[in-house]
Structure 1
């Protein structure tokens, strides 16, 4: 996809904000910082879409500086990952996104993903830090909240006759692989692939 012009990126964000309740906008200072980022950095539609997601979380009193905003698609994706880890917990997000990224058949069904998360001791320890239920399994609500915050970054497609979830864009898959599968000199990838192999072999 060809890059947009800086003003086209701002128009995309303006339309995206209005698509919510119809009255959402940004302050003149926030628009100025966004224009500065687009004028000096990336103008790809995916980048503008990621900044739109960030702008939706701003309030009128939110201080925004161009220096703190992402300048590339990967920086924006990593900022999204940082936010998901703060909200949902590092271990849960790491386990979930590592499994989605490592899946060989194009993705994982929601049932498979919940099963794999329930086999991850680190994710379970994080979720049940204050209470251990009789059945130790990732609560469906934990995955539902994370799924909602990932939003349209995941798409549903068909693989081997089943509906599976997968990344909607190659850059998300590559960024997630770099962050969640290449840590520890590749040990993370080996651990995830081993757990998934054990699961699918029964």
Structure 2
């Protein structure tokens, strides 16, 4: 505490009388009310004001580079929580990282929901162990989860921040990059900086989800270096062909980097899926009843496209709402067999928690619009009579502004944060589902 705690205590002696309050002399209750309304209120106001002034004076201006790196570190930790052990894939990545030759990047590809982001998030965790026997080697990892923050929907700003971060790590002079600089010029600056990294230093550069960039950035030849020094390793991940565009990112990368290391991420087998579920239960100190466990494991039998990490994550999120006395509720869950079924069940569960009308309308508006800012979404929900009727049942709305309370959407967003993507469009943060 910045202040002496004793200064925040106020003593006041108040005489107490037996009998009914009506027997108390009129002036004494009045003096108590005056004390509360004047002395105490003024003192309370001053203490709060002093606390605010104290912290404002000592608050440091935000460092944009630090904030950007921190956001992706937080994302990395979040994705790593749902990592599904893929020893064969991690072994291939390890061999690529430890190779002592210069060359093209490593390309990690797979369908949506196969766990590419969680694998990319696991690499910074594994890298220190891979280099443990090399005492004189310093390792740095720079990672960007593209499309997950408002500043990574186009490749320009991530490239600039990566250049600045590398210069900060190695003490290089930061190049001056103007708004007029083209992507090719920024790419050239990055290539020059990579060449300057000392040979006894190792840099791991990770670009996750190229498919989440703007369509014009799918052409990686415009911004992605092709040849790297032997002490710099670059790994990129993508889905082969986004539904929204006819361009095949994977084929473009293969033609650009003919000698690239290609790693395919496929669905999980049944045994590995069970191990993942057990790991998540152990991580969260949770246990299931025999009936619940039997039901959950029965959903892991392989089908034409399941189980995927996304499917497992959805099943696990559904199980978070279970109690030991809820075995009878499992009869309503037998229809789940595919990812779409699990999504529908999770939506049903969250509808009961947040209210069916407001939750379903919010999700529907995000899906049908192709992306909305939070202000636009709240405006639409506030203009929806059915939503307002479902919310203002037990209390009256604010008389000044007839608007949906922001906290209702914030609660929904907190439960859906794993499945929402933020992108900046024309200076506005847009949410996509």
TM-score normalised according to structure 1 size: 0.71
Alignment of 1:125-164 (within 5 A): 125-133=389-397, 134=399, 135-164=401-430
Q: Find the counterpart in structure 2 of residue 25 from structure 1.
A: 287
1:77 and 2:343 correspond: yes
d(CA) in 2 for partners of 1:103, 1:72: 25
- How much has 1:66 moved relative to structure 2? 9.7
1:56 and 2:320 correspond: yes
- What secondary structure is seen at the aligned counterpart in 2 of 1:16? helix
Any conservation in 2 of the 1:99–1:113 contact (CA below 8 Å)?
yes
Q: Give the 3 Å change call, closer, same or farther, for CA 89–59 of structure 1 in structure 2.
A: closer
Larger Rg: 2
Q: Give the 3 Å change call, closer, same or farther, for CA 90–31 of structure 1 in structure 2.
A: closer
d(CA) in 1 for partners of 2:301, 2:282: 23
- What secondary structure is seen at the aligned counterpart in 2 of 1:164? strand
d(CA) in 2 for partners of 1:66, 1:82: 11
Q: Over residues 1-58 of structure 1, what are the superposed CA-to-partner deviations in whole Å (9 max), with x where a residue is unaligned?
A: 32211122222222223333xx222234432222222126531221111111112222
- How much has 1:136 moved relative to structure 2? 1.6
- What secondary structure is seen at the aligned counterpart in 2 of 1:8? helix
d(CA) in 1 for partners of 2:392, 2:337: 37
d(CA) in 2 for partners of 1:26, 1:16: 12
Alignment of 1:1-202 (within 5 A): 1=114, 2-20=266-284, 23-39=285-301, 41=303, 42-63=306-327, 64=330, 68=334, 70-104=336-370, 107-133=371-397, 134=399, 135-167=401-433
- How much has 1:132 moved relative to structure 2? 2.4
d(CA) in 1 for partners of 2:375, 2:416: 17
- What secondary structure is seen at the aligned counterpart in 1 of 2:387? helix
d(CA) in 1 for partners of 2:333, 2:348: 17
Any conservation in 2 of the 1:3–1:43 contact (CA below 8 Å)?
yes
d(CA) in 2 for partners of 1:19, 1:156: 28
**How many residues are paired up?**
163
- How much has 1:143 moved relative to structure 2? 0.8
| Superposition CA RMSD, Å | 2.2
